[in-house]
Structure 1
Amino acid sequence: MAKKPKLTKKQKRQVSVNRSKRLSKNTATSEMEDNQFAEQQSGRVIGRFGKHADVEDQASIIHRCHMRRTISSVVCGDQVLFRPGKDQSLSISGIIEAVEDRKSVLTRPDFYDGVKPVAANIDQIIIVSSVLPSLSLNIIDRYLVASEDVEITPVILLNKVELLTAEERAEVEVQLNIYRDIGYQIIYTSCKTLTGLEQLAASLKDKVSVFVGQSGVGKSSLINALLPEATDEIIGDISDNSGLGQHTTTTAKLLHFPAGGDLIDSPGVREFALWHLPTERLTNGFKEFRDYLGGCKFRDCKHGNDPGCLLKEAVEQGKISQQRYQSYHKILSNMDELRPSHAKP
């Protein structure tokens, strides 16, 4: 795949100037095609389809739009200034003029293009895991680091709990209590028995949320359980051969809950690599570590067997979970291996 051509400094300055003009004025531009569009207004991106986006206006009318070439990125949840097309019989008639400043943005590293935004203006990230495919605390830790790094509140959700025996359920709860003890909310759900769906719905109310998690954990099933009218959601099965889930979501979209709140469903948030993070940001992503950082004997402490390491002492004293500490080092050891060669220092 070819890399996108990078803008020169002069081009970047011009893009910034054009964006500022469009954000500050509601006047028509001087481009030749302007007579095709109505007056500029505000809206929110609720769908992203290749080079186009669906924008919902203040009257809840949806307009499929082109995007100005000067706009670097548009993702679900973005607040934008756009101009509807005068000819609504066209399948794509409007145009997005500018993207307003984001209050939060969920990002992921891209092999070719660096760090890319995948959803904007989010209040919380729902980390969906399940007992099938098997529960992985290390994967949960990776999502938590990604959430902490972009400063968006995470919630841990364990789905398909109907597959657990009472004994297995008790064991899993002990494992996940590690996260409850450091302040994370835990929700247990089952789409078959409807367990936990009321609690989940209450957590989603009046917030903009996004589901993240590996394929096969039941994200689409949860969406269908919460929004039965979302009939375009296709539920994938677990592959008999691999045990892995089948990808079911192909476009990014924002869904509204009747009782209030929104959910962004995007194929760009299935998995998150962390190879783009400096070690310091990875360490800070384990929030229970923060009280001990900066106090070690040596400034370049690796928080392993270094003498005078406060983090290691906290683990030995039971103040930090041994499991989380080991997970941190596992992530750290894998980061350089997973980092693309062109992105290595």
Structure 2
Amino acid sequence: MTKKKKLSKGQTRRVRDNHSARLKREVADTIDDSQLGPQQDGLVISRFGQHADIEDSEQHIHRCNLRRTLGSLVTGDKVAWRPGIASAQGISGVVEAVHPRSTVLTRPDFYDGVKPVAANIDQIVLVSSVLPELSCHVIDRYLVAAEDVDMPPMIVLNKVDLLSSSERQQAEQLLQRYVAIGYQVLYVSCDTGEGLIELKQALKDRTSIFVGQSGVGKSSLVNAVMPEVAALTGAVSDNSGLGQHTTTTARLYHFPSGGSLIDSPGIREFSLWHLAPERVAWCFREFRDYLGGCRFRDCKHGTDPGCLLQQASTEGHIHEDRLASYHRIMAAMADKPTRHHPNSL
């Protein structure tokens, strides 16, 4: 008897996707037009596979199916939907269309290219922490991602109560490079309450999204600025130092005083392999005045003669660690095996 050939990872994934698409078609047809009320506008609070939680004009939440013709749908999308006359198996409506987005936060997917994460965001709150570690290179990667999608970022250093006086001084010195080029930096502690008033004020009347590595305390910050949410929190793994993923899907919350917040799943690495080298350089905002002025058009901004970035770094106009971080990103991008490799940058 011939042994059945084992499917490759790609084949297995395509089978799974085809099955998911078939389920989507079946689910979308569980409520027909005769069971639906008039169309109205709504807001996507969260997306769960082939369903989405939609908020109506009175801030009531409805679990809805998605039309087969619908494109991508993410938290923060403004949509046209129709409520069901009667709830069927917990589904109380159907999303029929997505309104144009003012902004969209994307992240590259190793198999499907660039995918949206959340929409109609006013600012990105980049949460870092003294645990697992304070890494300016990780901050730089997130800042590049934020600049690429043209969303103003704000840096929040969490868990500052764990720092000694000398460590606090060192952290502030490290982060001063970002203040110097116009980024807002807040120092916050959920335990002592330091910086929470300033953070709440920065979030007021805006739609913000928290991003950052696992374990930096994003969900704890959500709890601190919005106690009624009672978002899940988790401990940092004692073995790896990496945080546990305590938020499984992006979800939007409203502030009673105005504004909204999207709590997103933990992202240990924000990949940048989809960006062109010129775009990466442009996303370092302090580089922009010098780009295009180097002696050679294809300047790599390393040891090339006549490099304006190197000259600006030597003269103190560009922080040497920021330039080193740029080169570290570029080196990792050059070493990536393929766009689809799971270990790509």
Listed as ranges, the matches of 1:171-320 within 5 Å are 171-231=170-230, 233-267=231-265, 269=267, 271-320=269-318
Question: Which residue in the other structure is 1:25 paired with?
Answer: none
Asked if the contact 1:275–1:339 (Cα under 8 Å) also holds between the matched residues in 2, the reply is no
**Distance in 2, Cα, partners of 1:56 & 1:116:** 23
Per-residue deviation, residues 209-258 of structure 1 (Å, max 9, x unmatched): 00000000000111111111112x22110111111111100122101111
Question: Which residue in the other structure is 1:23 paired with?
Answer: none
Any stretches of 5+ residues in structure 2 without a counterpart?
A: 1-11, 19-29
Deviates most, 329-338 or 177-186: 329-338
**Distance in 1, Cα, partners of 2:337 & 2:274:** 7
1:143 is aligned with what amino acid?
Answer: Y
Q: Aligned-pair distance for 1:51?
A: 1.3
Q: Aligned-pair distance for 1:62?
A: 1.1
2:284 is aligned with what amino acid?
Answer: F
Between the aligned residues of both structures, percent identity stands at 59
**Distance in 2, Cα, partners of 1:128 & 1:319:** 26
Residue 13 (structure 2) pairs with residue 2 (structure 1): yes
Per-residue deviation, residues 31-89 of structure 1 (Å, max 9, x unmatched): 99211110001111011112110111111111111111111210000000010111136
**Distance in 1, Cα, partners of 2:268 & 2:118:** 12
Asked if the contact 1:283–1:328 (Cα under 8 Å) also holds between the matched residues in 2, the reply is yes
Cα gap change, 1:130/1:339 in structure 2, threshold over 3 Å: closer, same or farther?
Answer: farther
Q: Aligned-pair distance for 1:336?
A: 3.2
Question: Which residue in the other structure is 1:134 paired with?
Answer: 133
Question: Which residue in the other structure is 1:18 paired with?
Answer: none
Q: SS where residue 44 of structure 1 aligns?
A: strand
1:2 is aligned with what amino acid?
Answer: R
Question: Which residue in the other structure is 1:110 paired with?
Answer: 109
Asked if the contact 2:273–2:339 (Cα under 8 Å) also holds between the matched residues in 1, the reply is no
Asked if the contact 2:213–2:266 (Cα under 8 Å) also holds between the matched residues in 1, the reply is no
Cα gap change, 1:338/1:225 in structure 2, threshold over 3 Å: closer, same or farther?
Answer: farther
Asked if the contact 1:48–1:75 (Cα under 8 Å) also holds between the matched residues in 2, the reply is yes
CA RMSD in angstroms comes to 1.7
Moved over 6 A (4+): none
Asked if the contact 1:49–1:252 (Cα under 8 Å) also holds between the matched residues in 2, the reply is no
Per-residue deviation, residues 133-172 of structure 1 (Å, max 9, x unmatched): 1100000000000000000000000000001111111111
Q: Aligned-pair distance for 1:93?
A: 2.3
Any stretches of 5+ residues in structure 1 without a counterpart?
A: 6-30
Out of 333, 336, 339, which is 2:334 matched to? 336
2:144 is aligned with what amino acid?
Answer: V
